[in-house]
Structure 1
């Protein structure tokens, strides 16, 4: 790492610990390398000009810009499958780190076969269940495209093309027991972003978003500016699950996920 990277990473980590402006003097005291306050102020000036840092007032310290925090978490949040041995850690971590978290246990249910029953009914045979609807030739052709597709993905596809009623019926064959922790954080996001909340809160609470998202990190596509959403597969007390975590960009996601996986 060069000096600039060391300064930027130190500012980000310090801001995550305590989200207040960081002065050159304070930064000098916590850097792992020796550097004068004047040199730090020069770096500050360049970083503000280039949009990596922000300065709210002339006399105040600097804070990481939103784009800087987004890049930081894009590089660090790489948890593909989180192993949580004790579900109480989710409640504890959500409360301690002010992060909204919801999850539901997930059993793959693959569409294996489409049956036309006397042009009266369409039978969808899944691995673990069956689903029957009245026959419709277009629907019959439609479903035949999705043999070997997982039920949750099929629900998402139906919603995307406007088959909302059908999607809701299909959802009944899924396990819809959603566990929510850290609801206070989500409600705070809604309180600060009322228009966003009126459009999106329901999709968070009923699991629609949890079902539809692929694993990965999301920003303004899903949450308001200044926040992130992280969707991942998980194993919770030896059961397969999907998990969605949401919070401000300056929350401590490193320690949040470390705490989740402690025994």
Structure 2
């Protein structure tokens, strides 16, 4: 991996953070801050919910099927319309022909967001993350997830590994309590897990992993997602697309601050 990438704990005066901010700055034209919770915006995933309902259909389904044992906090960094550049980056940073430009862009965005907003996670959950995990790939179980490779040791947190139930494929969009089997390390101290995910479409994999982490003994679970997928052709999403057409991405704002 390119050597310019600093750890999250590098001093704020480190010139590499200046480079990272420049990488994020050039993305501001196509990134879009998630909207605050609203009568038609789901407070969990920031997708569209029906007015009069507390959550969107998918998030309500996860809540019901898990008996409430879900992530304490979900923080999407940006919307990711299917026809946009952010969506393209999220597709091409992994796979057989990985784009280094997409990797640099996404890693810069993730590191800067975590540097500026990890305190927001601690404020909401009551504790700073002690361990980190990516949602295991259900498409190819060989080797670590590309996001794990991308982040590496930069967060200075120990990684949690997890098995995957092969009964559920990558096209499964439902919550399953037995989808993942994370191995929490033995520790006398509480485990506060940070899930990193590249794309949230239905949230089934993130919430299935959050359930498994809590069932395994994690005290709190927070999820940070690079892109909240939006399908512009889905009629209910058109209202959301209209709302995010013009604003330029604000690197200093997260959804908690928006709320």
Please report the TM-score for the alignment, with normalisation by the length of structure 2.
Answer: 0.25
- Structure with more strand by fraction: 1
Higher helix share goes to which structure? 1
Q: Which has the higher contact order (CA 8 A, sep 6+)?
A: 2
